[in-house]
Amino acid sequence: MPATDKPRQSLPPLPPQPSGVPWPTQDWPEGPLTSEVAARLTPLLNSAFSDPAPEIMGETHAFLAVQGGRIVAERYWTGFDSESTHHSWSQAKSITQALIGILLREGKIDIYAPADVPEWQSLDDPRRAITLDQLLRMSSGLKFAEDYVDAGVSDVIEMLFGSGKEDVAAYAAKSPLIHPPGSFWRYSSGTSNLVARAAALGLGASGEAFGAFMVRELFDPLGMRSAQPKFDKAGTFIGSSFCYCTARDFARFGLLYLRDGVWDGRRILPEGWVDYARTPTPVPATERLGYGAHWWLGMAGPGSFSANGYEGQYTVLVPELDLVLVRNGKSPDAQKEAVQNWMGEVAECFRGA
């Protein structure tokens, strides 16, 4: 049964795992780059990994390209290697979306029902009508200041590192409604932590028990042995921001979505869930990228979608090229556009080759 019952826009098909290519549950198969792609890609990698780091895009700590289910390019900054873990930052939002999908597959959650937020249950609270779908699409109508620099005005800094850090969902639940639910798009880490707590409530488990669910249902089946999700003192997975992984494990997560939620013959995500993730949500004209449901759209051309994190953490999927690109590093927010442009240029190296 499809994961969602609402009509989806036409989307580019997701490629299957090529015949004869083993799934990377244990080890990643590797393959060569064509000379044409290598000639285009090498100068971009040399620039990104130059020492000192290029001022325009900051430090790139890890880069990985997977095409046709095989690693075809991989490089690391000095002091990093394939075993080094990297900060997910908001790539964790896309992992949270996967967890909701698994719970939906198990019949434990309904994304079109009002979200399970205990603080909103008063009959005169208009927030009680907000659905999980609206939270996943960043269209809840809640006020939230997603500012990574100015702590004085930032809700995300206060939530993660200030008064809200011991119970991130309770902090986010205090956000007032300033637009009718579903009418206005605003990127918000607070809504992701409400989604993460709703997942725990749907499962009926939090803290270590929820972590065990993540390992059993998502990380172990994919071979993501490095994954380190972080929880607050209330037992909520901090699904907005904290799941450390190696670049190779971020690539495994990306490959799951590129393969329509199926891994080595086992359906991890319900049918239609990946299409739900990449179906566009209306965003303001000022947004450089499109947005789906806890996934960004369009960084590497039409049809591409990505898990994006602060300081340039990216897992980018390009279905038409059967391509997964991973970049981890440390790039201040002012350099974000340059790094995204670089990711797009990297994808272009594989087109027409």
Q: What pLDDT, in 10s, does the model give residues 99-143? A: 999 999 999 999 999 999 999 999 999 999 999 999 999 999 999
Note whether residue 343 is domain-resident.
yes
Mean per-residue pLDDT over the chain, rounded: 95
Note whether residue 138 is domain-resident.
yes
CATH number of the domain where residue 83 is located:
3.40.710.10
Q: What is d(CA 216, CA 322) in angstroms, rounded to the nearest whole number?
A: 27
* Region of poorest pLDDT, from 1-10, 167-176, 191-200, 262-271: 1-10
Give the percent of the chain with pLDDT over 70. Answer: 97
Q: What pLDDT score does 173 carry? A: 98
Q: What pLDDT score does 352 carry? A: 76
User: Could you please report the per-residue DSSP string of 28-84?
Assistant: --B-PPPHHHHHHHHHHHHHHT-SSPPTTT-EEEEEEEEETTEEEEEEE-TT--TT-
Q: What pLDDT score does 68 carry? A: 98
Range of the domain at 85: 35-349
Q: Is the pLDDT of residue 162 over 50?
A: yes
Q: Is the pLDDT of residue 8 over 60?
A: no
Q: What pLDDT score does 91 carry? A: 98
Q: What is d(CA 51, CA 74) in angstroms, rounded to the nearest whole number?
A: 17
Using one digit for the tens of pLDDT, what is the confidence trace for 278-326? 999 999 999 999 999 999 999 999 999 999 999 999 999 999 999 999 9
Q: What is d(CA 172, CA 164) in angstroms, rounded to the nearest whole number?
A: 8
Query: Rounded to the nearest 5 degrees, what angle is found at the Cα of 30, between the Cα atoms of 98 and 216?
Result: 30
Show the 3-state SS of the chain. CCCCCCCCCCCCCCCCCCCCCCCCCCCCCECCCCHHHHHHHHHHHHHHCCCCCCCCCCEEEEEEEEECCEEEEEEECCCCCCCCEECCCCHHHHHHHHHHHHHHHCCCCCCCCECCCHHHCCCCCHHHHCEHHHHHCCCCCECCCCCCCCCCCCHHHHHHHCCCCCCHHHHHHCCCECCCCCCCCCCCHHHHHHHHHHHHHHHCCCHHHHHHHHHHHHHHHHCCCCCEECECCCCCECCCCCEEEEHHHHHHHHHHHHCCCEECCEECCCCCHHHHHHCCECCCCCCCCEECCCCEECCCCCCCEEEEECCCEEEEEEHHHCEEEEEEEECCHHHHHHHHHHHHHHHHHCCCC
Q: What pLDDT score does 153 carry? A: 79
Q: How confident is the model at residue 10 (pLDDT cuts 50, 70, 90)?
A: confident
Using one digit for the tens of pLDDT, what is the confidence trace for 256-278? 999 999 999 999 999 999 999 99
Instruction: Work out whether strand 228-229 and strand 296-297 pair parallel, antiparallel, or are unpaired.
Output: unpaired
Q: Is 350 strand, coil or helix?
A: coil
Note whether residue 316 is domain-resident.
yes
Q: What pLDDT score does 2 carry? A: 37
Note whether residue 22 is domain-resident.
no
Average pLDDT over residues 176-191: 97
Note whether residue 205 is domain-resident.
yes
Burial of 152 (0-12, 13-18, 19+ CB in 10 A): exposed
Q: What is d(CA 49, CA 37) in angstroms, rounded to the nearest whole number?
A: 18
Cis omega (within 30 of 0) for bond into 176: no
Q: Which of 8-17, 140-149, 170-179 has the highest mean pLDDT?
A: 170-179
Q: Taking a C-beta distance cutoff of 8 angstroms, is the pair 132, 113 a contact?
A: yes
Into how many domains does the chain fold? 1
The beta strand positions in 156-207, using DSSP E, are none
Note whether residue 16 is domain-resident.
no
Note whether residue 224 is domain-resident.
yes
Instruction: Work out whether strand 228-229 and strand 243-246 pair parallel, antiparallel, or are unpaired.
Output: antiparallel
Q: What pLDDT score does 184 carry? A: 97
Instruction: Kindly report the backbone phi and psi dihedral angles of residue 275, in degrees, each rounded to the nearest multiple of 5, phi listed first.
Output: -65, -40
Amino acid occupying residue 162: G
Using one digit for the tens of pLDDT, what is the confidence trace for 211-268? 999 999 999 999 999 999 999 999 999 999 999 999 999 999 999 999 999 999 999 9
Average pLDDT over residues 333-343: 96
